Amino acid sequence: MRAPADLEQLMVRYQAGDFSAAKALIDRLSPQLRRLFVTATFNRADADDLLQETWLRIHRVRQTYRAGEPVLPWFYAIAHCVSVDHYRRLRRAATRALSLEELPEHAIPEAADAGDGLDELLAPLSQAQREVLVMLKVAGMSLDEVARSTSSSVSSVKQKVHRAYQKLRQELKRQNVRRGASGEST
């Protein structure tokens, strides 16, 4: 992907009505945003719907972007809001459909086909932990950009990342112990 300054120029052109710039932004950022949604939902169809909803919202609020500001946090903040809205809609629907006694203690999301295994690796993490790890490590955003995107403080993002790393280490250690006990080679 090109430098953020290039993306910022495209966004300014998009605001001015250059829809070829919008297409260029969609082409460049959709894979990153889709990955964020796949890791959050574990469902590729839902991820595609959320990606589409994100681009619709971006189109509706494109004039709120301030030229000269970093554009990636702006895009990810909108994606984060779409993700939160989706989660809230699911919760409301589930609450209406089931009584409190019928709710399972842990709802385990259905794993999508993992592709490169990242989704499976991140599965034990909370949605918030997956989100910040994807933004930091896959999208290459800075701590400050992730904090702005998630409406959090930098220290909160650091804490989520630290806890995510701890959880991943524990999970990998548990899997290695299990493999060692079953005689599998790693």
List the CATH number of the domain containing 10.
1.10.1740.10
Tell me if the pTM is above 0.85.
Answer: no
Contacts 24+ apart (CB under 8 A), 11-20: 11/62, 11/65, 11/67, 11/71, 11/74, 12/67, 14/62, 15/62, 15/63, 15/65, 15/67
Spatial CA neighbour of 83 closest among 46, 137, 108, 114:
46
Q: How many domains does the chain have?
A: 1
CA distance 118 to 19: 33
What the block records as the tokens of 86 is 């989706």
Amino acid 96: pLDDT = 59
Of residues 171 and 65, which shows the higher confidence score? Answer: 65
Instruction: Name the percent of the chain lying above pLDDT 90.
Output: 38
Q: Please check the confidence at residue 64 and state whether its pLDDT lies above 70.
A: yes
Domain carrying residue 64: 4-182
Lowest mean pLDDT among 118-122, 175-179, 181-185: 181-185
Lowest mean pLDDT among 49-63, 80-94, 170-184: 170-184
Amino acid at 46: D
Please answer whether residues 31 and 134 qualify as being in contact, where contact means their C-beta atoms are separated by less than 8 angstroms. no
